[in-house]
Amino acid sequence: MSAAAPGEPGGAAAFPWDEAMSVGIGLLRLSPRDFWRMTPRELAGAVKPLVARTAGAPSRGGLTDLMRRFPDGGER
């Protein structure tokens, strides 16, 4: 029995280089030199806070709390 090659059924998927470069160079604004010096795990760690921030809208209670803590207008 031999292992399946990448791209074959049961094989490992190819690393998504196009998406990784778009995120690293485009979104994170890393220089190409810095991007290519990162490991995939380091890139994932750098992206994690961005993904967490866009996970969804706050609950109604969370929105009410934000509105109370940071009201629009008024004196400062």
- Which residue's entry shows tokens 């996970």? 55
Evaluate whether residue 28 is within a structural domain: yes
> Is 41 contained in some domain?
yes
- Any domain includes 62: yes
pLDDT for the residue 65: 92
CA distance 68 to 63: 9
Range of the domain at 47: 17-68
As for how many domains the chain has, the answer is 1
Please give the pLDDT value at position 15.
87
Evaluate whether residue 46 is within a structural domain.
yes
Q: 76 in a domain, yes or no?
A: no
55 touches 74 (CB < 8 A) = no
Model pLDDT for residues 21-59, shown as the tens digit of each residue: 999 999 999 999 999 999 999 999 999 888 766 557 788
42, part of any domain: yes
